[in-house]
Structures are given as C-alpha cells and as structure tokens.
Structure 1
C-alpha cells in the first residue's frame, strides 16, 4: 500500500481527529469535514480545538512517530495577553515548570522572541477580544517537544496567558500563504 501525506491549515474550532467515538457529547467539528481524506488517515502532533495552523496528516504510522520526535522543530506564533517582558521571554527560553497529567514538568530550552509586527493571519471566526481590554503581544516559540497544551501552560506560567495560537512551521514546511482550511498533498516530509 502506498501511503499518502497531507498538510492542512487547521481552522479554529476543529478537533484534530476524523471520527467522534463519543456520541454522547454534542457534535464537534472534525477535520474529515474539510476534505475527502483517504481511509486510515491520522493527524501527526495534534492541535487542540482552539489552536490553528499547520498540521501534518498521514496514513503511515511510522512517519507519525518520526515527525513527533525531537528531530522536527515546531514553530508557533502566539498572541499573549499583555505586553510581554524580556524577563518572561528569557524564562520561556530556559524552561518553565508546568503540570502534565498532575506531574510537575520543566520544559526543555527553546527559541522564543517577540515579533516586531503582528502576523497577517486571517480572522479566526471568533473574536479574541477588544483592544479596550489592554495590550497584547505576539511571540514566536520554537520547540522540539510537544506536551499536552504545552505552549498555553508555558505562557500562563510566566504571566502572559495565550489568546491565539497558530503553528506556522513543522521542520522545513511552513504555512506561508495557505488559507484557513486549505489542504495540500505532499510527496515527502522534510526536516
């Protein structure tokens, strides 16, 4: 069987899955509603319902393990509440303590910097908040790990909660000018 690979600009409000196994919950939006994907497709390195951006999809479980490994950098643009300080950026870079399933965890060193201009992303469909509630900042965070809701926990730990989270790069693949919900077939994944 020849495996198939895709990249998608995951929209806000969608789960990174293709089947809803819990029919008792109210209907959630699933990625399978956006494109006619092949059977056995899986998301690699999920994005939660409120997160957006670049997501790899594949029918190859071995490829999934490789891309989720520390060999692939994942870069996120993160809008945080407040005007982030250089001290908070330094703390993020050096690792902060977060909770993972009830256990304390210190994040690995990572690359973090404040963006000099706001990214030109399309509106996400649900307003984040009004400017009258105070300033916000955009930062870039590049990780080689991916714990459950890690970035949201990291920014909260340094006092600047995440308002919007968009993954812009996985390895050499960038979101560039993709539109929200757009799907592209890939022939390979590049580190």
Structure 2
C-alpha cells in the first residue's frame, strides 16, 4: 500500500486554496501528486500555513469540530485593541455563519508587542499614518469561514492582514512565501499530537491504529 504524502505550504496572499479554477491557484506554486488536496482552506486574501495531503482520515480528524485542534493566527488589525476587546475575543463573540448568529468558542488572544517575523506581504497593506495598527495573536480550536476577520471586526478592530502561523506544532517559522516542504507521516502525526492513533507494523512503518486496538 502506498504511503500517504504530506506537504506544508506558506500560501501567498492572492492565491486560491485549490488546484483548479480562476485566479492563481496552488498549482501555480509547484507540482503535486494528483491525489492530494488541502486540509481546510485559507481565504484568497489570507496567508500562511496550509497542509496538503491524501490522508483522508487525517483530513476528517482535523476538520471535525469534536477534536478541536489548535490553530494560531497573527492578525494585523486597525487600531489598538482594548483589554475589553481582548476579553471578548477570549470568551467568544457573535459572528454570522451561513446567515445565522454563532458564538465563537473560547480562544486565546493577546497583543504582540513586537511585529512577528514574517515575510513582507505582496502587495503590502495600505499604510495610513493617522490610523495606528496592532498585531494580535489568536489561537482558535475551530475554523469557521473567515472567522478571525469576523471576530476582530465584531469587537471593533478590523483585520488588515491575516497569517495562519501554526496548526498545533506544525508551523511556518523560517519559511518563505510560496515555499513548499514535504513531511513524513510520523513527523506530521507527532506535531499534531496524534501519535496515539498510530502504531508500528511489522515493517517498522507507522500506520493508523485499528479502532479495535
């Protein structure tokens, strides 16, 4: 049985999180096996970590809200968030999801004193000397459509630039925009805290545990 393939990408601004369709797509970044697909999505105007694989079990596990794995984002927002706004982000805010009000689950939110070490965005955000901006770090355990942007807007501080930095311990530290790295299955599962779902077979290879194990 062929081994699954795993790639992490630093998705650039303006690239669509799919392999076909209009506009720059993931296919513009390199050549991938035809069986792989993104785990979740990043909006066209968002940047950062995207995991691509043909591991259907992993895709289901990471997208299933029951399991709530952590996703950390850096958001450059308009203005200087107040302590009250940060508390709202942490405790949950009302956003619109598919035409209905939805209260986000508790999150971690804090102001980043020094701008995160990230490659410049191309094109850069529009600079306005009269309006300050602030970087905040947000860690969520869910991923609704445009959730971070909706959350910061709901507390009065619209997002100007958004970068997904990590999923659990997989991150884009040191990566360049558009860079692609392939990872092996063991490394991916360890970084995601999923080694409890793996065991070693007679050949010494990792494979997912049978539910009866």
The bucket for the TM-score relative to the shorter chain is over 0.9
Q: 1:97 and 2:94 equivalent?
A: yes
* Number of residue pairs matched by the alignment: 185
1:123 equivalent in structure 2: 120
Contact 2:111/2:136 (<8 A) preserved = yes
1:15-94 matches, cutoff 5 A: 15-20=16-21, 27-69=22-64, 70-94=67-91
Q: 1:164 and 2:161 equivalent?
A: yes
SS at match of 2:163: strand
Higher relative contact order (CA 8 A, sep 6+): 1
2:7 equivalent in structure 1: 6
2:104 equivalent in structure 1: 107
**1:6-26: CA deviation from partner (whole Å, max 9, x where unpaired):** 000000000110011xxxxxx
**Matches of 1:3 and 1:133, distance apart in 2:** 51
Contact 2:10/2:176 (<8 A) preserved = yes
Runs of 4+ deviating beyond 6 Å: none
1:24 equivalent in structure 2: none
Q: What TM-score results when the alignment is normalised by the length of structure 2?
A: 0.84
The Cα shift of 1:68 comes to 2.2
Q: 1:153 and 2:150 equivalent?
A: yes
SS at match of 1:132: coil
SS at match of 2:129: helix
Contact 2:68/2:142 (<8 A) preserved = no
**Matches of 1:8 and 1:38, distance apart in 2:** 14
Give structure 1 stretches of 5+ with no counterpart. 21-26
CA RMSD in angstroms comes to: 1.1
Task: Choose 6-15 or 127-136, whichever is displaced more.
Answer: 127-136
The Cα shift of 1:67 comes to 2.0
**Matches of 2:99 and 2:130, distance apart in 1:** 32
**Matches of 1:146 and 1:8, distance apart in 2:** 18
Give structure 2 stretches of 5+ with no counterpart. 193-213
**1:53-83: CA deviation from partner (whole Å, max 9, x where unpaired):** 0110001221111122434210000000001
2:179 equivalent in structure 1: 182
Q: What TM-score results when the alignment is normalised by the length of structure 1?
A: 0.93
**Matches of 2:63 and 2:111, distance apart in 1:** 25
**1:111-147: CA deviation from partner (whole Å, max 9, x where unpaired):** 1110010112221111211142410000000011000
Task: Choose 127-136 or 89-98, whichever is displaced more.
Answer: 127-136
Larger Rg: 2
